[in-house]
């Protein structure tokens, strides 16, 4: 059995950059639905990684690698919501495992690690987006407790093809004293219904 561990880097040396680039490049080359039309080059990937790790150091993100026998074979991250009213939630992004490492359960390990990290950081909700045809990923997220909360039909463009953009969420818990108003009328930002003539 291979030795597998999760690592949470705050800085990136040349070896780490190269190993992460290999994962991203090969996932995209194999047709992985991870947000790129074509495999990014090392410079583009390094710029992305530097931005993520800066957010990690600021406490606004967490970045995880799954290391198999000493080599990075999967990655993922969460980022804090960008505006004041969304600071209590995070978005899970860029979860991917190298095609040669399939069957090791790295995707599940990475996502569960990110969920545990987000809960420990005090987030109330974890969210993620997934392409509608990525049924295996959707099934994995559902097994980990995520539920679909929205779907924009044919909103993801890959060449001439269009796919649904599926949004999923996982409640992580609310602080004591939190008022859950849902869509109830009243409160800040409320407005009354105006009828059909609005």
For the chain, what percent of residues have pLDDT higher than 70? 98
Categorize the per-residue pLDDT at 198 as very low, low, confident or very high, splitting at 50, 70 and 90.
low
**3-state class (DSSP) for residue 28:** helix
pLDDT at residue number 51? 96
pLDDT at residue number 194? 81
User: In this predicted structure, which of 22-31, 36-45, 105-114, 174-183 has the lowest mean pLDDT?
Assistant: 36-45
- Distance of alpha carbon 191 from alpha carbon 198, whole angstroms: 12
In the block, residue with structure tokens 């969460």: 78
Whole-number average pLDDT of the chain:
93
Q: What is the dihedral of CA 150, 156, 125, 99, to 10 degrees?
A: 130
pLDDT at residue number 1? 86
For range 164-169, the mean pLDDT: 98
Categorize the per-residue pLDDT at 34 as very low, low, confident or very high, splitting at 50, 70 and 90.
confident
pLDDT at residue number 88? 97
Identify the CA nearest to 9 among candidates 76, 87, 95. Answer: 76
Asked whether 107 and 95 are in contact (CB, 8 A), the reply is: yes
pLDDT at residue number 40? 85
């Amino acid at each position: 059995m291979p030795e597998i561990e999760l690592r949470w880097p705050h800085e990136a040396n040349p070896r780490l950059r190269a190993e992460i680039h290999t994962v991203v490049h090969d996932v995209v080359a194999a047709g992985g639905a991870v947000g790129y039309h074509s495999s990014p080059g090392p410079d583009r990937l390094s710029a992305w990684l530097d931005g993520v790790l800066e957010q990690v150091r600021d406490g606004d993100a967490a970045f995880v690698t799954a290391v198999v026998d000493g080599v990075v074979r999967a990655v993922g991250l969460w980022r804090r919501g960008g505006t004041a009213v969304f600071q209590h939630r995070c978005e899970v992004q860029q979860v991917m495992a190298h095609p040669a490492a399939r069957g090791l359960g790295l995707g599940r390990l990475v996502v569960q690690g990110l969920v545990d990290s987000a809960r420990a950081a005090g987030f109330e909700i974890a969210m993620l987006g997934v392409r509608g045809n990525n049924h295996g990923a959707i099934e994995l997220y559902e097994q980990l407790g995520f539920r679909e909360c929205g779907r924009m039909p044919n909103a993801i463009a890959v060449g001439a093809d269009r796919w649904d953009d599926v949004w999923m969420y996982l409640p992580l818990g609310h602080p004591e004293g939190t008022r859950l108003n849902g869509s109830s009328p009243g409160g800040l930002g409320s407005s009354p219904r105006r009828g059909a003539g609005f």
